[in-house]
Structures are given as structure tokens and as C-alpha cells.
Amino acid sequence: MIDLRSDTVTRPSREMLEAMLSARVGDDVFQDDPTAIALEDKAARLFGKEAALFCPSGTMTNQIAINVYTRPGDEVICHRDAHVYYYEGGAMMRNSGVSVCLLEGARGHVSPEEVFTHINNPEDIHRPITSLVEVENTMNKRGGTIYRYEDLASISEICQNHALKFHLDGARLFNALAETGEQPEKYAKLFDSVSICLSKGLGAPIGSLLIGDRTFIKKARRVRKALGGAMRQVGYLAAAGIYALDNNIDRLKQDNDRAHCLGKTLETLPFIESVIPVESNIVIFTLRKKDGARGFLKALKENDIHALPIDPQTIRFVTHLDFTDSMLIKVESMLKTLSF
């Protein structure tokens, strides 16, 4: 089976499983788990921040950050297609009672100008208080697009000038850094907090990390508990995370390269209308045929290739560490034989 549905489908390698088997563990709710602590310390150091918190999912790390930074009724500025808004089950409204200011920026990116013009005047009692700006890099729903560092630096400055918090949903941040060559600690300086997923391109079975300063992480630990995300002998999972950070960052460039190849091939096919220019490991393309997605995915499935629709005419492929060069060749030759 060739699975292009998501980079979350990866299975732990034998080496990762061995690291998990030999993990030293304790009760992490008592902050007694040495492996969880080692993972959190490692992540904090990697990003040049004071502390980190291991959580079951990226939804939880994002939602904890939103909860810590806001009060009910406050407003969060993010893109209309941001994962925190679009793909997290309404969690920020539900758990934190916030309102959102949804921006429309191109490629799924919010621009410094747009952020600036949408900050509410805190003296105007008619308007909710803007307290947080959130960005996503890479940007999932718009095809894994990568922010320009200068734009993020400008937004960061605007946030500082207006006493707003700035959170990065970096579920696939390392796919972006693999392209731009920027260092995590330089990047993290722009943000109050960073969320990264271990269970996507990095290949761990479970887990995300929330990274920030000590005071923030202390508050985050309380919110994680309240959301039911404090776990016990979690070192078995943290060991997979340590393995992932040690071994699976450098290889992400391969995933991006394979996605570029898929994008190039798709552009040549007569039944494809357009492909969003590939920037990392996500390929989003639109078929010429309206409502063509179902039939197209069925044809792929008959060849044991699996992908997901974004809408009735649009498909997403995501490359990952269990998608090899030989699979790439198979998918490309299969696509070329399709008459659709």
C-alpha cells in the first residue's frame, strides 16, 4: 500500500521501537518521568527557549497556548484556513471562549499589514480585546507553503509593539526549515511559543511539543491537566520523540524533494487543471473535471494508492518517511497511464 493521505500515517521504525522499549519511565503527572523530562529539555534547548511540554497532539499544544494567552471574549487573529480555526473542531471557541478575526491572506499566510490593521483599539469597549496572533508554518490547507522569515519578523515586531502574544503552529516547521536552512533557535526568537508535531514527518507514533518560557510552560502544564492530557509513564512515547529529533530531521528534505517531483509530474497531466506550487511535502492539485475527486481517488485505490480530497475537485498528496523513491516511481508511472 502507498499511503499519501498524510504524513501522520508513518509507523515507528525498529530502531525507534527499540528506543521506546528501553526507555526509563516514571509517573509524568508527578514530573517523575526521566525520559519525558529529557525530551522536553532537548526541545527547549533546540529552540533556545526555557522550557517545553510534551502533549498527546498538536491540537492540544495549540489549544493550550490559546487558552494561556487569552481570556474569554478576547480575539485571536489567524488565517481563515488556519488549522487552529478550521481543523480543530471549534476548540478555541469551545475551550477558551474566544472570538476570532479571520484574515484572507494569499497562500494561507497573514501579512504584517493585515495583522496591523486588524488589531482592535483596546480603548473601544465595543470591540473584543485582541490578545493573540497565530501563524502556521508550513501552511497545511494551502499546500505546505513556507513563510518568508522577514514577514514573520515584521509580525513579531507588531505583536511586541501592541503587547500581543505570538504563537507558531509549527506542526511541520522542520519541513520549512529544511528548505530555508534557518536555525530553530533564530526562528523561535520571533515567537512567544512554538508547537511542533513529532507524529508527522518526524515519524513518531504520538506526540507534540509546546515550547516557550518557564512561566508560560508552568501555566500550560495546568491547562494540559485540565484538558485531560497529563499522562503517566509517557516516557515510552517521549523516547520515540527523542529518537525522532535525533534521527529524522535531516531527512525531511527528501520528503520535500519527492513532493516537488510529484508536483512536476502532475503539472504535465491533461486531466489536471492546476497544482499549487510545491514548497514542502504537501501537493494540492485541482482536477479539470468538476466533482472528479471521487473517481480519481477510486482509480488510485485500485492501484493501492491512497490520498484524500480537499473538496470535490481537489486532492492532497503528502509525502513522508514511509514513502520511498520506488513508491514515487510507481505513483508517477501510474498517474501517466490514467485516462481520466
Ligand X SMILES: *Cc1c(COP(=O)(O)O)cnc(C)c1O
Residues that bind ligand X (CB under 6 A): 57-59, 62, 83, 136, 140, 169, 171, 197, 208
User: Residue 56 or residue 235: which is nearer to ligand X going by CB?
Assistant: 56
User: Residue 134 or residue 292: which is nearer to ligand X going by CB?
Assistant: 134
User: Residue 226 or residue 329: which is nearer to ligand X going by CB?
Assistant: 226
User: Residue 119 or residue 211: which is nearer to ligand X going by CB?
Assistant: 211
CB of 100 to ligand X, least distance (A): 16
Q: What is the CB neighbour count within 10 angstroms for residue 129? A: 18
CB of 330 to ligand X, least distance (A): 26
Residue of minimal Cβ distance to ligand X: 58
User: Residue 169 or residue 255: which is nearer to ligand X going by CB?
Assistant: 169
CA-closest candidate to residue 134, choices 113, 106, 155: 155
Query: Which residues are paired to 196 by β-bridges?
Result: 170, 209
Cα–Cα distance measured from residue 22 to residue 116, given in angstroms and rounded to the nearest whole number: 50
CB of 38 to ligand X, least distance (A): 21
Query: Which residues are paired to 76 by β-bridges?
Result: 100, 132
Cα–Cα distance measured from residue 67 to residue 194, given in angstroms and rounded to the nearest whole number: 14
Do 47 and 217 touch, CB atoms closer than 8 A?
Answer: no
Amino acid at 316: R
CB of 55 to ligand X, least distance (A): 9
CB of 279 to ligand X, least distance (A): 14
Angle between helices 235-247 and 14-21 in degrees, nearest 10 = 140
CB of 141 to ligand X, least distance (A): 8
Do 221 and 73 touch, CB atoms closer than 8 A?
Answer: no
Query: Dihedrals φ, ψ of 252, to 5°?
Result: -65, -25
Angle between helices 252-267 and 325-337 in degrees, nearest 10 = 10
